[in-house]
Structure 1
């Protein structure tokens, strides 16, 4: 179960980073073309994507911590 969550979070991180880069590039193009409405929409969409990246990193660290605790708890048990 934890492996699947880790896999989803890692792939989501990659997708969010690429989406953020594309949105910031689109913002730069829209700002250079004097499209203020489009630039504003792209900027705030990129900021939402950035917030999702931060949330994904926090979730990833939390899941990695839980996985480490589960692994250490299973290795601390005495084998009879």
Structure 2
């Protein structure tokens, strides 16, 4: 019984790691620096720079690349962003 529980636990952890790697694959690896446009949001920026990618994953990557803990941005601010060209 304990052995079966271990196998199930390992399978769940493995599937979680696989799902995380697949989700991250949708974010372009190439980056560029852009200036935030007036009224632009992180979601809008993600959609503009990486169309067809998972917007939430791109937003997370933008926050990570620019150390934006709360996700707030301002017009004219330079940001490093993933982009698909």
Instruction: Please indicate, yes or no, whether the TM-score normalized by the shorter chain is above 0.5.
Output: no
Q: Which has the higher helix share?
A: 1
TM-score normalised over the length of structure 1: 0.38
Q: Larger Rg: 1 or 2?
A: 1
Please, what TM-score do these two structures have when normalized by structure 2? 0.36
Structure showing the higher strand proportion among its residues: 2
